[in-house]
Amino acid sequence: MSYEIVCGIETHVELSTNSKIFCSCPVSFGKASNTNVCPICLGLPGTLPHFNEKVLDYAIMAGLATNCEISDELSFDRKNYFYPDLPKGFQITQHHNPLCKNGYIELSSGKKIRINHIHIEEDAGKLIHKDGKTFIDYNRSGIPLIEIVSEPDISSPDEALEYVKKLQHLMQYLGISDCKMQEGSLRCDINVSVKKAGDKELNTKTEIKNINSTSFIAKAIEQEAARQIEVLENGKGVISETRRYNELTQETESMRKKEKASDYRYFKEPDLPTIKISLQKVTSVKKLIPENPDLKINRYIDEFKLSKSQAATLAKYKNVADYFETACENIKNKNFVANFITSQIFSMFNTESEKQKFKVHISALDLNKLMKFLDNKETSQHLAKTIFNQMIETKKSFDEIITTVNTSLLDENATEKLCLEAVEKNQKAFSDYKSGREKAIDTLLSYVVKESNGKVDIDLAKKFFSGYEIY
């Protein structure tokens, strides 16, 4: 009998706003324990939360990018429970009216994974177990989170992995989170159950927590599904519980049973008045949203006439895409700019993460000036590369460099003279070219480039070569 996997994922994403959600402590990582705290995020008696509106912008961005409806009101609720890392004895979250509802993420297969809702909440502190003692670090307390809750539409470990990676990529692309699973800025709780193929009824599910790398997602689900199938095949029932994935044994193990549904006694947070979300607000946030990578690739292909692989390379990272678009503003031949970035600039980076950060000494505006120069045929590609290299080496601006370089090209007569000379000196290549071997023109072209120190208009030279006859 074959089984189907039914899986839904709750994804917590830490937002990279400048300050925490309800106080002015900075959002930062790696500080000494309990040094990035204030009376508010420590929940001292008498303190009150003050909402950081940037969080709303970020959360709306996440909602729009995942095709959600945005609520016209923002209100918060208190989720009440006791735990040492929770300084107020309740978490401020959104229970009754989440900000975003009814969205979806489309997988590469075209299948849509529905998103039930996205809500805003505050993070708690962190327990640190050491030498048989427990310490509490509240630095994380009050860091803004969004929780993205999917419907149980995921039916394979690979789909789960693609879904999480897609979310991760999307949030990074929006610039609202760095989504590092290892550091906990993206955390997944995965609900897994199995059912016999064709069955309508869902079986009892378990929840897998503490997965700290995308590489374990598929494995954990696979293992957990296999374990549940074995339980069912042995005529037993799956127990509702929270499990964790053990990277060493590559199996899931039980953390705690879920005997009854927890009662968090939610009620509306009285210290935070409801905020109206106007249509203008949503529209203005929409403008802040970087284009979805898929749409961007299509635009590059259709409007900019780039090749598919070139488009995908440039659109992959937001920093690169932004740079590219500034650099090719008002440029007729966008391929020049694309090539410049993917060859000249990318050759300076050794790793993928350097590419993603895209730290370049030359500003996109400066590259744009250089590209305009090239586009207007005021210089040759060869010279443009020379200028570019000088800009990199000297860290001088385009305007400074251009005054020191003679960029003027040979005029038509001089070009023709040089072309004739090229034919003279490369008779074999010329006759090859004329007998149909297109590639042979390269020898002629490189001759004129070399002899002119790059000051030749290649297109013009090509015209001459194609016009000559063997005599």
Partner 1 sequence: MSENISKIKQIHKLLKTKQISCKELTSKYLDAIDKYNNTLGAYIKVTDELALNAAEKVDEKVKKGSELLPLEGIPVTLKDNISTNGIETTCCSKMLENYIPPFDATCWDIIKSQNGILLGKANMDEFAMGCSCETSRFCKTSNPHDLSRVPGGSSGGCSCAVSANLAAYALGSDTGGSIRQPASFCGIVGFKPTYGSISRYGLLALASSLDQIGPMATSVEDASIIYDALSIKDEKDSTCFGNVNGPTQIHLNKDINGMKIGLPKQYLEGINKDVSDSIFKAIKVYESLGAKIVPLDMPDIKYSLPIYYILVCSEAFSNFARLDGIRYGHRTNSYTNLEEFFSNSREEALGEDVKRRILLGTYVLSGKNYEHYYKKALKIRETIFETFEKAFKECDIILSSTVPQTAFLHNFKPEDQMEAYMTDICTVPANIAGIPAISIPCGTDSNNLPIGMQLIGNSFCESKILNAAYKFEQATFAKNHKSINMGVNL
Torsion angle of C-alpha atoms 284, 9, 244, 230, degrees rounded to 10: -170
Task: Specify the stretch interacting with partner 1 by CB under 8 A; choose among 35-43, 184-192, 291-299, 377-385.
Answer: 35-43
Number of H helices, E strands in the chain: 16, 16
DSSP result, 117-152: EEEEEE---EEEEETTEEEEE-TTTT-EEEEEEE-S
Q: Can you tell me which of 9, 20, 68, 78 binds partner 1, judged by CB under 8 A?
A: 78
* Closest separation in Å from C-beta 257 to partner 1: 16
Complex with partner 1: residue 80 or 203, whichever CB lies closer: 80
DSSP lists the bridge partners of residue 8 as 191
Task: Specify the stretch interacting with partner 1 by CB under 8 A; choose among 79-87, 116-124, 142-150, 401-409.
Answer: 79-87
x/- mask, partner 1, residues 350-379, rule CB under 8 A, reads: ------------------------------
Strands 112-122 and 126-130, bridge-based pairing: unpaired
* Closest separation in Å from C-beta 346 to partner 1: 47
Complex with partner 1: residue 48 or 197, whichever CB lies closer: 48
Q: Which of residues 82-141 bind partner 1 (CB under 8 A)?
A: 82, 84, 87-90, 136
Complex with partner 1: residue 182 or 262, whichever CB lies closer: 262
End-to-end CA distance of the chain: 81
Complex with partner 1: residue 87 or 454, whichever CB lies closer: 87
Complex with partner 1: residue 45 or 110, whichever CB lies closer: 45
Q: Which DSSP helix (H) or strand (E) runs through 386?
A: helix 381-394
Size of the site for partner 1 (CB under 8 A): 28
DSSP lists the bridge partners of residue 106 as 112
Residue type, 190: I
Q: Provide the 3-class DSSP secondary structure of residue 225.
A: helix
Locate 362 and state its tokens.
């030359």
Cα angle, residue 417 at apex, residues 411 and 418 outer, rounded to 5°: 90
x/- mask, partner 1, residues 242-281, rule CB under 8 A, reads: ---------------------x-xxx--xxxx--------
Applying CB under 8 A, the residues found at the interface with partner 1 are 39, 42-51, 78, 80, 82, 84, 87-90, 136, 263, 265-267, 270-273
